[in-house]
Copies of this chain bind each other. A is one copy, B any other.
Amino acid sequence: MHLRERPTGTEKIRMCPGTELPLPGKEMVDYICQYLSSVRERRVTPDVQPGYMRAQLPDSAPMDPDSWDNIFGDIEKIIMPGVVHWQSPHMHAYFPALTSWPSLLGDMLADAINCLGFTWASSPACTELEMNVMDWLAKMLGLPDKFLHHHPNSMGGGVLQSTVSESTLVALLAARKNKILEMKVSEPDTDESSLNSRLIAYASDQAHSSVEKAGLISLVKMKFLPVDENFSLRGETLMKAIEEDRNRGLVPVFVCATLGTTGVCAFDSLSELGPICDAEGLWLHIDAAYAGTAFVCPEFRLFLDGIEYADSFAFNPSKWMMVHFDCTGFWVKDKYKLHQTFSVNPVYLRHPNSGAAVDFMHWQIPLSRRFRSLKLWFVIRSFGVKKLQAHVRHGTETAKFFESLVKSDPLFEIPAKRHLGLVVFRLKGPNWLTEELLKELSSSGKIFLIPATIHDKFIIRFTVTSQFTTREDILQDWDIIQHTAAQIVSRHYALHRISSGDGARIPNMIVKPSSNTISNASQFYLDEGEHKTPSRKIVVQPKKLAVSPSTCVINQQVEGQGDPLDDCFPEDVQDVTKHKLSSFLFSYLSVQGKKKTARSLSCNSVPMTGGLEQCNPKAGAADKRESHTNAKILSRLPEEVMMLKKSAFKKLIKFYSVPSFPECSIQCGLHLPCCPLQAIV
C-alpha cells in the first residue's frame, strides 16, 4: 500500500515552488466534480463498524514520502467507504450542511493565503471583508441596524464564529461578565466566581444541547423552561421563572431564544420574550442556526418580530446557505460587551474610541481565525440574493411535497406542524413500530434519518438538505419509507400467524393475510381524520423476541376509539414490550415523560446497520443470510458493546444538531431548482 518505497523527488527540489500543484490540484477538482455530481448514487450511510479503518492503515506514519497516486487512490479505498454523504439528496438527518462551488473556491483561496486574522494588522483584508460581508448578510436577513458595523448609531457588528455552539457560549459569557460588573458596583469585594453562583439563565426545553454545554462551561445555572403546545417558549413562562428565581435570591442574566428548534423546528416567541428581557435586564440571545437562512425571504420573517430587543443573534450560513462548514454569523448589539469579556486588558477595550480598526480576537474564544469571509462573499455574489431566496423556497416546497406524501398514507401521522424544510412523521401506533421502521431504513443505507421524541412519541425527522433534491428523489425516498413500513407491518402480522400457537393470548384478533404491498399494508390500519380508511378491528403482533419467554400481545382495537395502536397495549404489556426492545443494541426507547430528549437530541455513536441487531441475534432468523451477517458482525464487535445498558443506549440515540424554520405562505420558487454548482454562466 502506501508504505512502499517511492522516489523522493529530489530531482525536482530546484523547481519553482508550486509548480507541482496544478496536476494533482486539477485532478482533485475533477474528482470533487465527479463526486458531487454523482453523490446521489452512493449509499448515503456507510456499512462499516467502529474500528473499520484501523486495519487499512499502518500503525505509524511513513518515514519516506508517499506518491500522490497512492494517496489519491486511498480516497476511494479507505475514506469513502466510511463517509456519510451529507451532500446527498437522500441525506435527511440532522440539518443541512451544504457546500457549493463558490464556497469551495473561496476556501481554496483562503487556505492558500492562510493568513491569521486575529487583529486588523495581521491581515487587514481578512477583517475588512468580514465586516463588510457581515453587514451585507445582516441586511439580507432584515436584522436591525444596531447589528451593523457601518451605521452611524450602531455600536455593534457581526463576526464569523466557528459554530453556533461557540456563539451561544460567547453570548452567555458576555452577559455573565456584564452582570458581574453591575453586581460589583454594590459588592466590589466579592469574588467573581461567587457572584457567578447567583446567576441564572434560561432557554426552552427544546433548546439545543449546546445551550446546556454553555452552562457547564460558564458555570451559570441554566433552567430549561416548558413550552406551549407549539413547542414555543412564551413570555408568561419566562416571567414566572424570573420572579421565582429572584425570590430565591438568584440573579436572572440571560435568555437563549431558539428560532427553529432541533426537534421539530419550533419558534420561541421573541415578541413576548424581548420586552421582558428588556425590562428585567436580561441579555437576549437568539439561536437561529438553521432557520436563519430562511430570513433572506421576507415572507419568513414573521418570527423575527421582537428582534429589536435582541442583544445577539446567530445563524449558520454553513447549514442551508451553501457555505460549507465552518461559518456561523454572529451579531452583537454592543461590541464593547465582548471586549470587556475577552480582552486581557479590559480597561483598554472598554473605551469606545480606543482604536480605528476592529480586532476580531476580542470577539471570540480562540485567538486565531481563518479568512472565512471569502467563501461567504463568493457564495453571496455567485448566487445573488434572488437565487438564495429561490433555494430556500425550493427546499421548503420540497419538504411540503414530502409532507403531502406522508399525509396521503393512513399508516402515518405528522405529529407536529411542518416548518421550512423539516417534516416529522411516525407510524401510527406504539413507538416501537416507528423505531423499527427507522432501524430498517437506516440499515438500508439508502436514506439517512434520525429520531426525536415529542410528548413521549417517537418520531422521525426528515429534513430536505441538498439543493439538488428533486421531486424524483423525494418520491424515491418515500417509496423506500412506505415499502419498509409495509414490510414491518405485514411481517409482524405474518409473525403473529406463525407464532399464534406458541402460547400468546390474542384476544379479539382479526387475522389478515400477510402482504408485501404498500396498499395492502395500509389496509391493516384504521386511521383518523381526512385519510380515515374503512373501519376495521385490527391487531398487530410484534415479532417474538428470542430473549424473552413471553410473547407480546396486542389488545383489540375498538373501532372509533382513537388511533388503533396507541392504545392497543395495556400498561403492563407495554412495559414488557419496552423491556424487550431495550435489549436491542439500537433501542429507540422513547424517554417517558422527559422532554429533555427532544432538547438535547443526539445521534447514535454506533452504526445503525448490522450491529443494531447483535443483541438479538434471532431477530433476523427468518432470513438465513441476514442471520449469518449478524453473527459475523457480532464476532467482530468488542465485548463491551454487548454489555451496554439500557440507560447508556438511551443516550446513544440522542442526536445533536441545530434549529430550523416554520411554514409560511410561500408564493414562488416551487419548481425552480436552485443549483449552486451551476449558479453562474
- B367, A656: Cβ atoms under 8 Å? yes
* Nearest B residue (CB) for A220: B193
A558 within 8 A of B: no
A121, B607: Cβ atoms under 8 Å? yes
Known A-B contacts A210-B367, A681-B12; the reply to A605 vs B357 at CB < 8 A is: yes
When C-beta atoms are compared, the residue in chain B nearest to A357 turns out to be B50
Option from B35, B50, B60, B109 in Cβ contact (under 8 Å) with A124:
B50
Given A84-B123, A105-B25, A678:B20 Cβ within 8 A = yes
Q: How far is the CB of A467 from chain B (nearest CB, A)?
A: 8
* A104 nearest CB across to chain B (Å): 6
- Name the segment of A131-139, A500-508, A545-553, A624-632 touching the other chain: A131-139
Contact B113 A86 (CB under 8 A): yes
* C-alpha spacing A554/B101, complex, angstroms: 63
Contacts known (A345-B651, A367-B165, A675-B13); A21 close to B29, Cβ less than 8 A: yes
* Contact status B36-A109, CB under 8 Å: no
Cβ of A57 within 8 Å of any chain B Cβ, yes or no, is yes
**Contact between A680 and B356, CB atoms less than 8 A apart:** no
Residues of B within 8 A of A192 (CB): 197, 219
List B contacts of A603 (CB < 8 A): 118-119, 121-122
- Cβ-defined contact, B383 with A65, below 8 A: yes
A196 touches B219 (CB 8 A): yes
Checking B33, B52, B651 against A21 with a beta-carbon cut-off of 8 angstroms, the contacting residue is B33
Q: Specify which chain B residues have a CB less than 8 angstroms from the CB of A103 in the assembled complex.
A: 111
Q: Does any Cβ of B come within 8 Å of A46's Cβ?
A: yes
B contact residues around A381 at 8 Å (CB): 2, 61-62, 65-66, 70-71
- Picked from B120, B125, B197, the residue with its CB within 8 Å of the CB of A83 is B125
Residues of chain B within 8 A of A212, CB atoms compared: 344
User: Nearest chain-B residue to A385 (Cβ)?
Assistant: B63
Contact B99 A112 (CB under 8 A): yes
- The listed residue with most B CB atoms (<10 A of its CB), out of A22, A108, A603, is A108
The 8 Å CB contact of A48, one of B66, B124, B140, B680, is B124
- Which B residues touch A48, using CB under 8 A? 124
Is B150 in contact with A356, judged by CB distance below 8 angstroms? no
Residue of B whose beta carbon sits closest to that of A676: B17
Among A84, A121, A344, A348, the most chain B Cβ lie within 10 Å of the Cβ of A121
Chain B: which residue is nearest A118 at the CB level?
A: B656
Which stretch of A236-244, A424-432, A633-641, A661-669 is in the interface?
A: A633-641
Does A181 reach chain B (CB closer than 8 Å)?
no
**Binary interface encoding of chain A residues 167-198 relative to chain B, with 1 for a CB under 8 A from any of its CBs, else 0:** 00100010000000000000000011110110
Q: Closest CB-CB distance, A58 to chain B, in whole Å? A: 8
A119 touches B24 (CB 8 A): no
A216 interface hit (Cβ, 8 Å): yes
Per a CB cutoff under 8 Å, which of B65, B368, B638 touches A680?
B65
Residue of B nearest to A62 (CB): B384
Among the stretches A73-81, A300-308, A411-419, A567-575, the one at the interface with B is A73-81
Residues B104 and A111 in contact, CB atoms below 8 Å apart: yes
Task: From A3-11, A400-408, A534-542, give the one contacting chain B.
Answer: A3-11
**Interchain CB contact under 8 A, B122 and A17:** no
Q: Which residues of the other chain, B, contact A63 by a CB distance below 8 angstroms?
A: 384-386
Whole-angstrom distance between the alpha carbons of A638 and B57 in the complex?
Answer: 58
A382 interface residue (CB < 8 Å to B): yes
* Interchain CB contact (< 8 A) of A162 among B7, B219, B366: B366
Determine how close the nearest CB of chain B comes to the CB of A350; give it in whole angstroms. 11
A319 to B220 alpha-carbon distance, docked (Å): 35
User: Contacts A361-B656, A365-B365, A383-B65 known; A46 to B112 CB distance under 8 Å?
Assistant: no
Which residues on B sit within 8 Å (CB–CB) of A169? 365
A63 to chain B, nearest CB (A): 5
* Nearest chain B CB to A663 CB, angstrom units: 25
Whether A356 contacts B638 by the Cβ 8 Å rule is yes
6 CB < 8 A contacts A-B = A60-B140, A86-B113, A87-B113, A118-B603, A166-B366, A196-B196
In the complex, besides A20-B678, A66-B382, A104-B108, 5 extra interface pairs with C-beta distance below 8 angstroms are A19-B37, A162-B162, A162-B366, A193-B194, A193-B219
9 smallest beta-carbon distances between A and B, as pairs: A82-B125, A193-B197, A25-B29, A18-B37, A9-B681, A163-B366, A353-B640, A50-B357, A53-B128
